[in-house]
Amino acid sequence: MIQPANPHLLCEARGALHASVDHIQLWCFALNSHAGFTAQCGQLLSDAEQARASRFINPRDRDAFVLAHGVLRQLLARYTGMDAQALRFGEGAAGKPFLETQPAGRSALAFNLSHSRDRALLGVTAARELGVDLERHDSRVEPLAIGRRFFFGPEYEDIAAMPADLRHARFFRYWVAKEAVLKAQGVGLGFPLDSFQIRFAAADTSSPMRAVADSFDLARLDGHWRLQLPPCDPGWSAAVCAAGDDWSIQLMT
């Protein structure tokens, strides 16, 4: 079960962390803390990140951004053995961030960060592209209207077939899966959501739900991305996406 850790306590831990190509390590943490820790995170950010933070009008949104990226730096510092403030990030063509300062003599470290409301989810692995998404279920979302417009036919039909009180949960299951695929591929949300289909395997309460993304536009999106949807608290959905079948989720604390 994915549950948010206290970000301050999470960053108090010391010792090296080691990424593995066989696992996608998931860190979930809350995006609220005391003012002192938030200020500490802010001091770790680059000039560009501080500029982005300053553009938030709502102080709560600004603090959430600072905490998310400050904790990201502190965790990646333990993976790389570098100072958190010294880490440098680049962006792919569609804005997907990657770590420029890679640890010497090790497989390339890959990460992906998602945040929603007061929680963040970070995925870390080695030598494998990944995407993660975390969403708080929003009661204002209209599952049928959005699903009809943006989802592939069988996906919409699956949502529509659910009882009204279960449609939001089924809608967000598809939503996080699709966003995780786009983030793994690094194409951004401008890619048409109805140009690939999510197919879920039979539910197994003993392990994360598994799914496959079949692309109908192989020139722009790789085929057969694999997904796992770890269990979350009621009202939340999360998805992890990477290529291949030879990986599993490792929940980190």
Q: Is residue 91 part of a domain?
A: yes
Cβ contact 226:130 at 8 Å:
no
Q: How many domains does the chain have?
A: 2
Q: What is the total residue count of the chain?
A: 253
Domain boundary among 97, 129, 161: 129
Is 26 in the same domain as 14? Answer: yes
Cβ contact 149:134 at 8 Å:
no
Domain boundary among 129, 161, 189: 129
- What is the DSSP-derived secondary structure letter of residue 138? P
C-alpha 144: how far from its chain's center? 24
- What is the DSSP-derived secondary structure letter of residue 204? -
Of the candidates 159, 128, 149, 146, the residue with the CA atom closest to the CA atom of residue 246? 128
- What is the DSSP-derived secondary structure letter of residue 2? B
Q: Is residue 171 part of a domain?
A: yes
Domain boundary among 129, 147, 162: 129
Q: The CATH number of the domain where 54 resides is what? A: 3.90.470.20
Domain span holding position 170: 133-245
Is 15 in the same domain as 53? Answer: yes
pLDDT tens string, the chain, 253 residues long: the values are: 999 999 999 999 989 999 999 999 999 999 999 999 999 999 999 999 999 999 999 999 999 999 999 999 999 999 999 999 999 999 998 889 999 988 777 789 999 999 999 999 999 999 999 999 999 999 999 999 999 999 999 999 999 999 999 999 999 999 999 999 999 999 987 788 999 999 998 766 567 899 999 988 877 888 789 999 999 999 999 999 998 889 999 999 9
Is 148 in the same domain as 231? Answer: yes
Is 214 in the same domain as 240? Answer: yes
What residues form DSSP beta bridges with 213? 198, 225
Q: Is residue 1 part of a domain?
A: no
Is 95 in the same domain as 151? Answer: no
**pTM of the entire structure?**
0.96
